[in-house]
A and B are shown apart, each in its own frame.
Chain A
Amino acid sequence: EVQLVESGGGLVKPGGSLRLSCAASGFTFKTHSMNWVRQAPGKGLEWVSSISSTSSYIHYADSVRGRFTIFRDNAKNSLFLQMNSLKAEDTAIYYCARGSVPGSSPQMGYWGQGTLVSVSS
């Protein structure tokens, strides 16, 4: 069974930093691209960042580029999101979502349950 478990959320002051983790199991992590998606309270879904299976290709939403860094550790089946210079508008539930394998259609299939990040003074 595919499982994605996010952790690392919490309350942080504006300008602060936080690192989110996503522990993956039930599939061959190193062969799949991965994504972070967020949802602000009462709002819709917003794609944040994606990383290819070998970390060769990385993309960011304009809203986080230059402040957030996505990376992964395939040996530990883990995905990370380093968030710096946090702003109030970064307050959201952050989900990790499994992408696709190279050569197959892009998708975001399996999702974790999310971790809440609150940015407030």
Chain B
Amino acid sequence: QTVVTQEPSFSVSPGGTVTLTCGLTSGSVSFNSYACWYQQTPGQAPRTLIYSTNVRSAGVPDRFSGSILGSKAALTITGAQADDESDYYCVVYMPSGIWVFGGGTRLTVL
């Protein structure tokens, strides 16, 4: 059973840059994994930030960007703001046609 890995927590200073990653316990995340990234604050539904690895969803600021770094998908936030403090989830599309979510990263801005 493939597991999607994310950093459990991360911290960034206001105005700073942070890169969150999304990997696989077996194999690599590639463009064919169509990784998506979501932001979720308590009590709210997830908000789509990035789909297909690096395509920003409508209305998402360009300080959020997606990429492949080595064998992982990555979400980079530049110029972090206080309201970026959220949980971030990645999801990867498997060749079998199923989606697998990572455990999420809690981002603190301080």
A105-B34 contact given A45-B89, A50-B99, A57-B97, CB 8 Å threshold? yes
Q: Within 8 Å CB of B104, what residues of A?
A: 44-45
Partner of B52, one of A44, A61, A105, A112: A105
Distance between Cα atoms of A57 and B45 in the complex (Å):
26
- Which residues of A pack against B, CB within 8 Å? 35, 37, 44-47, 50, 57, 59, 61-62, 95, 105-114
Q: Are A110 and B48 within 8 A (Cβ)?
A: yes
Binding site for A on B (CB under 8 A): 1, 34, 36, 38, 40, 45-48, 51-52, 55, 57, 87, 89, 91, 93, 96-104
Query: Considering the chains assembled together, what is the distance between the CA atoms of A56 and B98 in angstroms?
Result: 15
CB distance from A105 to the nearest CB of B (A): 4
List of B residues within 8 angstroms of A108 by Cβ: 36, 48, 51, 91, 99
Chain A residues lying within 8 Å of B101, measured Cβ to Cβ, are 37, 44-47
Q: Are A106 and B45 in contact (CB under 8 A)?
A: no
Residues of A within 8 A of B57 (CB): 109
Complex interface: chain A residues within 8 A of B87 (CB): 44
Question: Main SS of chain B's interface residues?
Answer: strand
Expressed in whole angstroms, the Cα–Cα distance for A44 and B102 within the complex equals: 8
How many Å lie between the Cα of A108 and that of B37 in the bound state? 10
User: Which residues of the partner chain B approach A112 to less than 8 Å between Cβ atoms?
Assistant: 45
Interface pair A106/B48, CB less than 8 Å apart: no
| Distance, CA A52 to CA B46, complexed state (A) | 22
Q: Is the CB of B46 within 8 A of A106?
A: no
> Nearest Cβ in chain A — how far from B43, in angstroms?
10
Contact partners of A107 in chain B: CB under 8 A: 34, 36, 51-52
